[in-house]
């Protein structure tokens, strides 16, 4: 029997809800999302967050579903890999802000 779990994630607009489904497959774990990126076969932030255990945007998750998801992912590398990816993406955004700030500083010095 394949257990299928269902979660809803709140989009960045704060209104739209996306459905995320998780299931064990012969090859491991399948996570799907109804957001635009997920529908286009791209890795989406909703699935990454869910796999990493970040429930900030998950709407009213049932405790039993969270336990089932944890069990589903227990033998998978996904949680650790997704948590690392989230950390690297945060660092990248910080670096982009730093580069932008430095560019403005340099431009001001050159043309000021």
The three-state secondary structure class of 28 is strand
In percent, the amount of the chain with pLDDT more than 90 equals 77
CA distance 62 to 60: 6
- 96 pLDDT band, cuts 50/70/90, is very high
- pTM to 2 decimal places: 0.81
1 pLDDT higher than 90: no
Q: Would you kindly state where each structural domain of the chain is located, as residue ranges?
A: 4-111
Phi, psi of 56 (to 5 degrees): -55, -40
Helix (H), strand (E) at residue 5:
strand 4-10
Count, residues in the chain? 112
Helix 45-52 and helix 78-111, axial crossing angle in degrees, nearest 10: 120
Average pLDDT, the chain: 92
More confident residue, 62 or 17: 17
Mean pLDDT of 41-66: 92
């Amino acid at each position: 029997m394949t257990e299928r779990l269902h979660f809803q994630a709140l989009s960045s607009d704060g209104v739209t809800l996306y459905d995320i489904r998780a299931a064990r497959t012969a090859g491991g774990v399948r996570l799907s999302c109804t957001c635009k990126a997920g529908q286009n076969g791209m890795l989406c932030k909703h699935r990454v967050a869910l796999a990493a255990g970040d429930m900030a945007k998950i709407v009213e998750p049932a405790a039993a579903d969270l336990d089932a998801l944890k069990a589903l992912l227990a033998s998978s590398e996904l949680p650790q890999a997704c948590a690392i990816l989230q950390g690297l993406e945060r660092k990248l955004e910080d670096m982009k802000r730093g580069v932008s700030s430095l560019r403005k500083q340099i431009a001001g010095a050159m043309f000021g």
